Structure 1
Amino acid sequence: MKHSPDFFLGFLRGLTDTDGTVAKNGRVTVYTTSEDLAKQTSAVFSKLGFENSIYKGGVRPNGNYPLYHVNVKRAYSIEFNKKVGLHKPFRGLVDQR
């Protein structure tokens, strides 16, 4: 990965805004049907210091392809919001430090 941190932050911002969610408890999840994209997204999260995991869900409701969930641990959610600066609102998340 030979791009700047700003490039990766922009990538995560766009991907999370379009194909992700931020739960009320602060957990950030990106969804994709591509195993390669899930692994690459996980690598970018890790490169920027956000612990994460990949979960392979069941087949989508339309019967096509499994759905991969890339989950950022809740403990990193405040820092994620500060660094990435999502366009979607962070529903009910407050800094508890």
Structure 2
Amino acid sequence: MAELRWLRTGLFGRPAYWLSMVIVIGFQIPVDGWLTKLNAPIVLYNDEQITGWRFPWDIPVEDFVFGFALVTGVLLAWERLRPRAEEADRTSARQRDEVDH
């Protein structure tokens, strides 16, 4: 929602974003599946706090939403702050050049 209303970085239109989501899910399924398997769970959830929908390998669907939101939030912050960091680098380089001359 923040991307569409305020940030407008264009992140969702980039193939690199969607590739990163494929990479995230590629690691999330085996790890999360192992952690949340119902026959020998390492991580337990309060049934009142989740929908109870699990797919695949007993992974609560909320874990996918959380994982995608977390990675997307970091990438949006990175994209939003990047132009400022690049401008600061240019300003710093310009100041160094002025001192050298």
TM above 0.5, one fold? no
Larger strand share, 1 or 2: 1
Larger helix share, 1 or 2: 2
| TM-score, L = length of structure 1 | 0.24
